[in-house]
Amino acid sequence: MIVKTTIPSARSALAKTGTRRVLVPTMGGLHQGHRALIEKARRVAGGSGTVIVSIFVNPTQFGPTEDFSKYPRPFDEDLALCKAAGANLIFAPEPGSMYLPDFSVFVLEESLSRSLCGLSRPGHFRGVCTVVAKLFNILQPDCAIFGEKDWQQLAILRKMVSDLNFPVKILAHPTVRESDGLALSSRNVYLSAEEREAAPAIFAILKNVSALSLTPHQLARKAREQLQRLPGARLDYLEVVDAETLQPAKDRKRAGRLATAVFFGKTRLIDNVPVPKLSLTKKTKS
**Residue 134 identity:** K
Percent above pLDDT 70 for the chain = 98
Is 31 one of the annotated active-site residues of the chain?
no
212 pLDDT tier (thresholds 50, 70, 90): very high
117-150 burial string, b = 16+ CB within 10 Å, else e?
Answer: bbeebebbbbbbbbbbbbbbebbebbbbbbbbbb
Question: Strands 169-173 and 143-147, how do they pair?
Answer: parallel
Measured CA to CA in angstroms, residue 154 lies from 189, 242, 259 at distances of: 24, 13, 13
69 pLDDT tier (thresholds 50, 70, 90): confident
| In the predicted structure, residue 282 carries a pLDDT above the cut 60 | no
Domain with CATH 3.30.1300.10 in the chain: 186-275
Task: Tell me, yes or no, if the pTM score tops 0.75.
Answer: yes
Length of the chain: 286
Q: Which range has the worst mean pLDDT, 46-50, 163-167, 172-176?
A: 46-50
| Contact (Cβ atoms closer than 8 angstroms) between residue 208 and residue 182 | no
The pLDDT value recorded for residue 202 is 98
CA distance 183 to 77: 20
**Which one of the listed residues 34, 124, 173, 217 is annotated catalytic?**
34
CA distance 57 to 93: 9
CATH for 186-275, options being 3.30.450.20, 1.10.357.10, 2.50.20.10, 3.30.1300.10 = 3.30.1300.10
| In the predicted structure, residue 67 carries a pLDDT above the cut 80 | no
- Domain 2-173 part of CATH 3.30.420.240: no
| Contact (Cβ atoms closer than 8 angstroms) between residue 268 and residue 234 | no
Q: Which range has the worst mean pLDDT, 121-125, 220-224, 279-283?
A: 279-283
Task: Summarize pLDDT for 238-254 with one digit per residue, the tens.
Answer: 999 999 999 999 999 99
Task: Summarize pLDDT for 16-64 with one digit per residue, the tens.
Answer: 987 799 999 999 999 999 999 999 999 999 989 999 999 999 999 998 7
Domain with CATH 3.40.50.620 in the chain: 2-173
